[in-house]
Structure 1
Amino acid sequence: MGYHPPPDTGLDVVHLDEAMVVLNKPAGLLSVPGRGDDRQDCLALRVQQRWADALIVHRLDMATSGLLVMGRGAAMQRALSLAFEQRLADKRYEAIVHGVVADDAGEIDLPLITDWPHRPRQMVCFERGKPSLTRFTVVSRDEVAQRTRVSLEPVTGRSHQLRVHLLALGHPIVGDELYAPQGVGLGADAPVRMHLHAAELGLPHPLSGEPMRWRSEVPF
């Protein structure tokens, strides 16, 4: 599958100061360079063209849109990375999934591991998987379209965690070509993209410790 990143029409900067820059990553753009010369265009390099000291702290899947923070300089990158490691960063995503989710809220507690023969896919593995926990809340249900909008809180931060957990729940994300190839949109007029968006991000400021929080409008 070829890589066709969205055109560089300028950065969507949500917050900027001497310690960090918070941005909205568009769907279809890698967070960091991929393997191969044709996969170098990414959010990190676009940001570094403007702020050379900006360093990646965490990643969003290429197909996921929404809030991403970069540290300005190695010290700020370390401080922000530590906040994520210590689970001081509070993340909320929003997704539209196939099917009507029965429970209004719940937890998905399933260990995850890389599915090596089918990389980059991940899978549930009770023998060797790493502990992984996702909390979900139903936002709305569409009985006619057989879709559910859910709010998601990943307590852990495993690769593809939300995508695999929702698949295991029986409700894969609409437009997820890796895990739900049978449904890539909401209809003939819908954009072909995965309906997963990093909608809220909260963390302590790496210099002052002040609680910071940002919100990003869900584009679907």
Structure 2
Amino acid sequence: AKKEIQALVDKYKLRVNPDALITDISIGQQQRVEILKTLYRKADILIFDEPTAVLTPQEIQELIVTMKNLAAEGKAIILITHKLEEIRQAADRVTVIRSGKSLETFNAKNVSAITLAEKMVGRKVSFTTEKKAAKTGKDILKINDLVVKDAENVTKVDHLSLDIRAGEIIGIAGIDGNGQTELVQAVTGLTHSQSGEIILDGKNIT
């Protein structure tokens, strides 16, 4: 079985170590393991449902290459996603569905993201946002050099510093599992931090 798995890894350039434990590999590599499972079982049709939701940009590009390699070997791929540029990069044809009905099928290389978006939602879509600059006031929340570890003593928030001022919305972006949950839990007092401080409206609430 191990030899067959290694042969599949080499054939489809999946870059997975057959001896590795799932707990020790990245989300992207775990996804490749799932692909390997279907190939090992000799599947000819693979359905990817929102496969890039938890991947980094580099892992997304690697997945697209993998899908193209599978297609080149004669596999049929169904890619379900709302990410329009990924559809245009990966797919040969794209079918838009809305309210459970098939609306139209396009050549993926020849259709614009705007056309796809309008078909998906059933109205004109603007890809630009008009907004005025925020009028900010005093610091409401200051996070200084915060370190938070999880139950397994793995550092999830690594010396993070952040200032949030009155009158602004601050966005925190990251792939799931990269410390957002632990940061929120530490700020709201649901878990302890190992070091650093949290200042709310001038009061240290660490």
- Normalising by structure 2, report the TM-score: 0.27
Q: Which has the larger radius of gyration?
A: 2
Decide which structure has greater strand share.
Answer: 1
Q: TM-score, length-normalised on structure 1?
A: 0.26
